[in-house]
Structure 1
Amino acid sequence: MTVPREPASPASGPSASTGSTAPGADPAETLARLGGSWTWLLGSALATLVPGIILLAWPNGTLHVLAVLVGLYLLVIGGFRFVAVFAQERGERLPGLLLAVLYVLAGVLCLRNPLQTIAALSLIVGIVWLVTGMLTAYAALATKALPHRGVLFGAGALGIVAGVVVLALPAESAVALTRLLGLWLVLLGVVELAVAFAWRAALRRAVADHSADPPAAA
């Protein structure tokens, strides 16, 4: 999960919460405004939550269906994380970019051979979640400017636990793996929803604080 370093100031654009941009804007600035909006975080959370609900509601799907669904999830989340990277400071973008690449590569591996073994699918998902959780927890601890760092750290810890569980306790059947992945996706999605709404509250406070400041002297 990639969260902007601090709420965007109204001077740099309340459009950060709406994703609107001026004509001819720099693409990097456009992506920064989009990735820094709470609606982008909300979209990422829903992209995690919806596949989890589908897996829990349909646990008897074949391994082929499971691999395709997980592969699509990883590709979509990789796209969300790539855009969100631009909301970070330039010197802090590399970890998020590497994480986005990891998601895309993992998604391609799942879709390239959807008939792979349960152990291989567990390995791919487990590694992705473990690395994601560690980087998210590190960001929460190292970046003091982040609002609601406790929620973000909880998301990272949950990702670490999910990765360790999937790697250490490989499922014996496609049904067991489907239920396990579905459960973790729902839990991660719920936590990411909390982060998205916490970020919306931080953005609104930033706008309110700015409007309450006295106007600068001419």
Structure 2
Amino acid sequence: MGESRGSPSAGPQYPPGGTAPAAGSDPESLLAALGQSWMWLLGSALATLVPGIIVLVWPDETLHVLAVVIGLYLLVTGVFRFVSAFAREGHGERLPALLTAVLFVVAGVLCLRNPLQTIAALSLIVGMVWLVTGMLTAYTAIAARDLPHRGFLFLAAALAVVAGIVVLVLPAQSAVALTRLLGLWLVLLGVVELGVAFAWRAALRRASGRPRSRSSAPAA
């Protein structure tokens, strides 16, 4: 999950609510404004939290249903991360975020393309996604030293790495066990991402009265 080194301390380009630029702006600027909105980060967090709650509430569903839910989670999250990548200040800084978005989308397609795949295959897909994105998030937190509330980003990175390792090293032997394992980690990751979103909202509000310049939003 790539991150720019920009900070909202200089002030956002638009009000803290995340209002997009006026019509007529180029698509890249529109995507950048949308990705910088704390509401967009909130939507990304909910895209992780809601599937986690679903699979925990209905743990007895079949592997087919689990694969579809996880596949949709990966696709939707990939879209959120793709847009958030354009909030980076420099094109070079967008690369990790774009790679993460592509990884989520590809993994989601793999889950939906063959929802009757084995438990081991589903565990491998999700475990690799979480492990790689967790490492990219850790890199982001280290590189963006002036980013507000970096602790949330470090926590999200640690959870993703641990979740990936657990799923890869301890593959579930049944659909029910895998459902509970994935659901638990999705809920934990979603809660942390909610913290990132609200921390970014607080940073935007603090910067709203200052001279406006481009800033970059985190991507948990």
Moved over 4 A (4+): 1-4, 8-11
2:72 counterpart letter in structure 1? L
Question: How much has 1:173 moved relative to structure 2?
Answer: 0.1
Partner Cα separation in structure 2 for residue 18 and residue 87 of structure 1: 12
Confirm or deny that 1:83 pairs with 2:92.
no
Question: How much has 1:7 moved relative to structure 2?
Answer: 1.9
Partner Cα separation in structure 2 for residue 151 and residue 79 of structure 1: 22
Q: CA separation of 1:139/1:10 partners in 2, compared to 1, >3 Å: closer, same or farther?
A: closer
Rg (Cα) greater in structure = 1
Confirm or deny that 1:185 pairs with 2:174.
no
Identify the residue that residue 27 of structure 1 maps to in structure 2. 27
2:118 counterpart letter in structure 1? T
| 1:8-157 equivalences in 2 (<5 Å) | 9-10=10-11, 12-14=13-15, 17-89=17-89, 90-157=91-158
Partner Cα separation in structure 2 for residue 35 and residue 2 of structure 1: 13
Asked whether the 8 Å contact 1:103–1:128 carries over to 2, the reply is yes
Asked whether the 8 Å contact 1:63–1:118 carries over to 2, the reply is yes
CA RMSD of aligned residues (A): 1.6
Percent identity over the alignment is 71
Question: How much has 1:10 moved relative to structure 2?
Answer: 4.8
Three-state SS of the structure 1 residue aligned to 2:8 is coil
Aligned residue pair count: 210
Identify the residue that residue 218 of structure 2 maps to in structure 1. none
Partner Cα separation in structure 1 for residue 19 and residue 3 of structure 2: 15
Structure 2 gaps, min length 5: 213-220
Normalised to the residue count of structure 1, the TM-score between the two structures is: 0.92
1:85 counterpart letter in structure 2? A
Question: How much has 1:17 moved relative to structure 2?
Answer: 3.3
Question: How much has 1:141 moved relative to structure 2?
Answer: 1.0
Question: How much has 1:11 moved relative to structure 2?
Answer: 6.7
Stretch of structure 1 that moved more, 21-30 or 179-188: 21-30
Q: CA separation of 1:24/1:55 partners in 2, compared to 1, >3 Å: closer, same or farther?
A: same
Deviations 1:144-172 (A, max 9, x none): 12111111111001100000000000000
Partner Cα separation in structure 2 for residue 13 and residue 199 of structure 1: 14
Normalised to the residue count of structure 2, the TM-score between the two structures is: 0.91
Structure 1 gaps, min length 5: 212-218
2:37 counterpart letter in structure 1? S
Asked whether the 8 Å contact 2:2–2:95 carries over to 1, the reply is no
Question: How much has 1:189 moved relative to structure 2?
Answer: 0.2
Partner Cα separation in structure 2 for residue 148 and residue 142 of structure 1: 14
Asked whether the 8 Å contact 2:48–2:187 carries over to 1, the reply is yes
Partner Cα separation in structure 1 for residue 31 and residue 156 of structure 2: 24
2:128 counterpart letter in structure 1? I
Partner Cα separation in structure 2 for residue 185 and residue 75 of structure 1: 14
Identify the residue that residue 206 of structure 2 maps to in structure 1. 205
Q: CA separation of 1:115/1:27 partners in 2, compared to 1, >3 Å: closer, same or farther?
A: same
1:108 counterpart letter in structure 2? V
Partner Cα separation in structure 1 for residue 164 and residue 83 of structure 2: 24
Three-state SS of the structure 1 residue aligned to 2:209 is helix
Asked whether the 8 Å contact 1:2–1:84 carries over to 2, the reply is no
